[in-house]
């Protein structure tokens, strides 16, 4: 398969004529669209700040005619380099197509353009008593188109699933420049192959999403949560599994391992800190783990659920419990959870964010295996994440840049461990550039061949986001 | 594309040698596997009652070598002829692969073979405090493999989605005989294209599912419901939309139109019947509509939700309300809903079950358009179904077989009406043989070309369930 790169200078001139002021080639535009949250820097040859679907079509037709790469991009909050122009090419920036076309209260759906910020969509839905559940950490800065392209998810997955569960239908431009409408505007639809979910999560390699029809839900209204400290992660996970097998479906179940807890422990209220210190005195081998469980629904219902969950946690040996029933309490507890990433990031020179996922029942095993990896590579691993869906953010760190190769080796080892436990190398971040070399560890040759066949069927000239997702040596 | 049919008698001999007693060719076997619930009768040349994946592989390898058709089949409860051997061929019966491999309470998942009855899976999950939500009407007689192949859904869609939302990963044999593992055993997974959902809903044309890993949920425990009669369907739908925009997410919201209500009205309690009669006296133009709303969760929570929904229904002008808070009450109310199909079926010689879906806000418009269709074609249409997801079961009937062409013409008109309202021709039943001629009304040429391309990529010899789903004139 060919591997197109940047357009020639003649073609750039042609593009400038075609798109006028919407084609950006100034240094700031190229630099800002050459970045995402992966830390990689790969500036494109030009940026098209698309205003409508017709421009997307024209760009893709030209790319096929002249064989240059087109890299679709939302807000660039990805962590895997999936929207970067590895070989130059033209970045197709969709952030200006940001209309909320309609919140349809009669049909409980939303129709939006891809550049809408996910947080804006959530607020617009809430104003009508409705709810768009997927909650990637980046929801206030990432776009719904990017969320769909990467099948973004967050803590709410345990109750509500991920982005793919809310995309009913799409308008998209195929790499050939043909426009397609997939799926339905209805909650049920079983006519033909599921092209909607073929595009969702394809990381911008199979089509450019130009409009989305999304399923909304009634807004649950209230939220209440509790934080609980357990002697170790095994005990914490037993509590979480007991919660689920006793009929409770929380809207988030998060955990921090002992290392993370030390890093952000100062944010906890005094009595919890005191409990932690007491626990340490008892000489807990693995160290304590913090669990955060949140419920949503009517006020009465959430308070009652948190009450019952508290009693389950106590029976399962929680050392300390901190209910957070009002907004201020919730904010305090979530601040602990949210501060972990920043503090890890700020505390070390080398930092690789893995986001493996394992079956829920294997989370404790996965985390228990980390000290061996740390020792073998002389690095430090912080583990936290989504206990309700098995998605663990492993933050592999070292204090000096010289240790990077060791951190990378440890990251691959963690991926292998997750796979051995029946897991996957990525629960949220995707493959992009960052993980494509590892893909054959997870995806068997038959599946890889089939996926390459699908890519070739939709994108015969390989002009759309070339090189992403597939192992490079076998383009 | 070729269109293979039955194997030659030489090949049948070879198959008999290969599969011994698992290859069935007796009249009963051919006749029973030549039927589904569509009313069509298309017996195959032979039936392989598969015992394991290895047999599936061998059959598909032989089919590719000798170019005969293989038609995968579960319990044959489909309504669209999707599992029938149109041109002979070998039916691959998967009902003997019916092991529940594991209900994993620690990971809140199930691993099952395709022949497991969906009802058996639900019962096995419930015994562990867990819940498999999709609830097609056939759940006690249909298989989970068939449910996945058709993306089956039922009343619970409004709260819980359909089968595709619960399939985390699949083992499947591709038409080429290659084995593939798709998806993950985890609730999150974003590595590579979504081949799982490409297979789900593909009506057995892209692969044979040999094992499924399914997401389970905590079992909600309790259910409570209410039935409410409204002056017309427009009022009923306004109540339903108000319920959803006021924060309630019922686990079912069903409706019966006035014709259905007349057909099963004798099953209602006396005071509701009296209310209906009074309503008729007031001369309601469209006639009354019955709504059934069910909530699940903790006992307290369901009772409270039903109570609040009752008050919403009253404010929206419900003529009669019948709460059904205990098991006997629920059973009585659901009996009314469930009896509709049978009574329609028993009351007329010609009966075509359409299952269009429209956006929830268009249900009343769709049903309001039916009297015109009835008049134009001199037939009778009964409308009932899933108010919570827009899936309307239109039962088009006539008293004499001679009217069949008129009923068929009316069915196509209903499909066109649904599409004009932003809907789809099938919310649950699928395309199969029954609707393939209508596919181009819904699926644009670009999409159809792409779907045919995917079929050809996976099944170059078109041996797996040939002719299904795609319009026949353009195989």
ipTM value of the model? 0.96
Q: CB distance from B247 to chain A under 8 Å?
A: yes
* CB nearest to B219's CB, from A202, A247, A300: A247
Nearest to B157 by CA among A198, A157, A217, A370: A217
- Say if residues B251 and B220 touch (Cβ distance below 8 Å): yes
Higher pLDDT, B273 or B374: B374
Q: In chain B, what residues touch A190 (CB-CB under 8 Å)?
A: 150-151, 153, 201, 424, 426-431
Q: In chain A, what residues touch B102 (CB-CB under 8 Å)?
A: none
A182, A193, A357, A366: best to mutate for the B interface, most B CBs within 10 A: A193
Nearest to A38 by CA among A70, A99, A86, A2: A86
Q: In chain B, what residues touch A221 (CB-CB under 8 Å)?
A: 247
Rounded CA separation B234/B368 (Å): 9
Rounded CA separation B78/B143 (Å): 11
Q: Do A427 and B361 touch (CB under 8 A)?
A: no
Where do we find the tokens 């070399």? A437
Higher pLDDT, B380 or A347: B380
Rounded CA separation B475/B464 (Å): 13
Q: Do B390 and A451 touch (CB under 8 A)?
A: no
Q: CB distance from B457 to chain A under 8 Å?
A: yes
Q: Enumerate residues 146 to 165 of chain B having a beta carbon within 8 A of any beta carbon in chain A.
A: 150-151, 153, 157-158, 161-162, 164-165
Q: Do A391 and B186 touch (CB under 8 A)?
A: yes
The pTM (predicted TM-score) of the whole model is 0.96
**Longest C-alpha distance within chain B, in Å?**
73
Q: In chain A, what residues touch B201 (CB-CB under 8 Å)?
A: 190, 193-194
B1 — pLDDT class (breaks 50, 70, 90): confident
Q: Is the pLDDT of residue A471 over 80?
A: yes
Q: What is the pLDDT of residues A3-13, one digit of tens each?
A: 899 999 999 99
- pLDDT of res. A280: 56
* CB nearest to B195's CB, from A161, A431, A447: A447
- pLDDT of res. B410: 97
- pLDDT of res. A269: 79
Q: Is the pLDDT of residue A287 over 90?
A: no
Average pLDDT over residues A252-265: 94
- The encoded tokens of residue B338 equal 């469930």
Measured torsion, CA atoms of residues B53, B55, B60, B62, in degrees rounded to the nearest 10: 160
Mean per-residue pLDDT over chain B, rounded: 94
- pLDDT of res. A475: 44
Q: CB distance from A234 to chain B under 8 Å?
A: no
- Say if residues B182 and B174 touch (Cβ distance below 8 Å): no
Q: How many CA atoms lie within 13 A of B145 on its CB side?
A: 29
**Residues composing chain B:** 475
For a pLDDT cut of 90, what percent of chain A falls above it? 89
Q: Do A106 and B359 touch (CB under 8 A)?
A: yes
- pLDDT of res. B277: 66
Q: What is the pLDDT of residues A422-442, one digit of tens each?
A: 999 999 999 999 999 999 999
- To the nearest 10 degrees (0 to 180), the angle between helices B9-19 and B53-66 is 160
Q: CB distance from B431 to chain A under 8 Å?
A: yes
Q: In chain A, what residues touch B304 (CB-CB under 8 Å)?
A: 298, 300-301
B188, B234, B362, B426: best to mutate for the A interface, most A CBs within 10 A: B188
Average pLDDT over residues A272-294: 71
Which range has the top average pLDDT, A338-342, B289-293, B329-333? B289-293
Q: Do A194 and B191 touch (CB under 8 A)?
A: no
């Amino acid at each position: 398969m060919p591997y197109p790169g940047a357009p020639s200078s003649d073609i750039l001139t042609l593009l400038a004529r075609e798109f006028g002021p919407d084609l950006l080639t100034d240094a700031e535009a190229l630099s800002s669209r050459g970045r995402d949250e992966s830390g990689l820097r790969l500036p494109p040859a030009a940026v098209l700040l698309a205003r409508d679907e017709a421009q997307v079509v024209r760009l893709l037709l030209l790319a096929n005619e002249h064989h240059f790469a087109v890299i679709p991009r939302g807000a660039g909050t990805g962590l895997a380099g999936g929207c970067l122009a590895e070989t130059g090419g033209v970045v197709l920036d969709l952030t200006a197509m940001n209309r909320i076309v309609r919140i349809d209260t009669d049909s409980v759906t939303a129709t939006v353009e891809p550049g809408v910020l996910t947080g804006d969509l959530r607020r617009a839905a809430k104003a009508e008593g409705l709810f768009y559940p997927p909650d990637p950490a980046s929801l206030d800065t990432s776009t719904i188109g990017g969320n769909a392209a990467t099948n973004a998810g967050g803590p709410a997955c345990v109750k509500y699933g991920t982005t793919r569960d809310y995309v009913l239908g799409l308008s998209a431009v195929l790499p050939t420049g043909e426009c397609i409408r997939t799926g339905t505007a209805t909650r049920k639809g079983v006519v033909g192959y599921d092209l909607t979910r073929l595009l969702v999560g394809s990381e911008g390699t199979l089509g450019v999403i130009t409009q989305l029809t999304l399923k909304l839900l009634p807004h649950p209204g209230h939220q209440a949560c509790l934080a609980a400290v357990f002697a170790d992660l095994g005990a914490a996970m037993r509590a979480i599994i007991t919660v689920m097998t006793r009929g409770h479906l929380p809207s988030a179940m998060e955990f921090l391992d002992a290392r993370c807890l030390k890093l952000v422990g100062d944010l906890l209220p005094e009595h919890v800190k005191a409990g932690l210190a007491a626990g340490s005195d008892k000489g807990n081998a693995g160290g304590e783990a913090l669990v955060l469980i949140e419920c949503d629904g009517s006020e009465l219902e959430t308070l009652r659920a948190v009450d019952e969950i508290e009693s389950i946690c106590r029976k399962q040996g929680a050392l300390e419990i901190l209910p957070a029933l009002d907004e201020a309490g919730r904010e305090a507890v979530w601040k602990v959870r949210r501060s972990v990433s920043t503090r890890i990031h700020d505390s070390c020179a080398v930092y690789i964010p893995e986001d493996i996922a394992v079956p829920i029942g294997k989370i404790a095993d996965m985390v228990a295996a980390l000290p061996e990896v740390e020792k073998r590579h002389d690095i430090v691993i912080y583990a936290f994440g989504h206990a309700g869906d098995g998605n663990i953010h492993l933050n592999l760190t070292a204090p000096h840049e010289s240790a990077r190769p060791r951190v990378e080796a440890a990251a691959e080892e963690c991926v292998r461990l997750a796979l051995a436990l029946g897991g996957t190398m990525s629960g949220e971040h995707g493959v992009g550039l960052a993980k494509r070399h590892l893909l054959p560890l997870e995806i068997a040759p038959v599946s890889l061949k089939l996926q390459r066949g699908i890519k070739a069927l939709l994108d015969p000239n390989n002009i759309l986001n070339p090189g992403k997702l597939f192992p490079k040596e076998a383009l």
